Amino acid sequence: MKINYSNPSIQKDITKIKKPNAHGMLFENALNISNEYYLNKGIASIHKKPTPIQVVKVDYPARNKAKIVEAYYKVPSTTDYNGIYRGKYIDYEAKETQNLSFSFKHISNHQIEHLKKIDALGGIAFVIIFYRKINKIYLIDIKVFLKLFINSTNGSAKAIHHRVADDMGIEAVQGYSPPIDYLTAIDKLYFEK
């Protein structure tokens, strides 16, 4: 595994996050560190959106100090990541699977719809999937993803096998810095055609 889990800033971020579902956290943090790297190098500005939280009750134990005492996680209305690269709008959803196939039930319709809209508006929209078992990361453009998804509702596979991802998507290579060099994959998929 080439993702640098011992990086202290990754560890800090992990302990900071207390989501009900910790699944995919290391992958997400590797993406976040990669985005920080790209930002610091002036290559791209891509950020993870904060998790939407519905705040119900706030206390003020001290003046100007708000303490949220009742809140709930909300379903995000868009994707996890967006930003700018090579002057283009970039938007993607990051997914992880422990299986050899990524099941469509792990992505919501409104996320697919959102990516479809971005594509229609001229942006770069894709799903990035980490197949943990084989330690491979693939980008799949939303148009391709959508085709596979629609086929799945017509009796085809209800999931994307990593071999299909390898065939129809493009691999994002893992390394040290950045941990996931997915912009090079974007270059190949969208700019070098």
In DSSP terms, 79 is beta-bridged to none
Taking residues 13 to 52 in sequence order and writing x for each that binds a second copy by CB under 8 A, - otherwise, the string is: ---xxxxx------------------x--x-xx-x-xxxx
- Which residue from 135, 144, 124, 136 is spatially nearest to 46, judged by alpha carbons? 124
Residue 54 in the binding site for a second copy (CB under 8 A): yes
Judged by CB under 8 A, the stretch of 3-11, 57-65, 140-148, 174-182 that binds a second copy is: 57-65
In the complex, minimum distance from the CB of residue 49 to a second copy, in angstroms, rounded to a whole number: 5
Report which DSSP code applies to 87.
T
SS3 call for 7: coil
Judge whether 128 and 186 are in contact, CB under 8 Å: no
- Of 24-32, 79-87, 102-110, 162-170, the window that binds a second copy (rule: CB under 8 A) is 79-87
Site for a second copy in 81-100 (CB under 8 A): 82-91
Pick one of 2, 12, 41, 67: the residue that binds a second copy (CB under 8 A).
67
Query: Which H or E run includes 117?
Result: helix 109-120
Give the residue carrying structure tokens 């691999």. Answer: 171
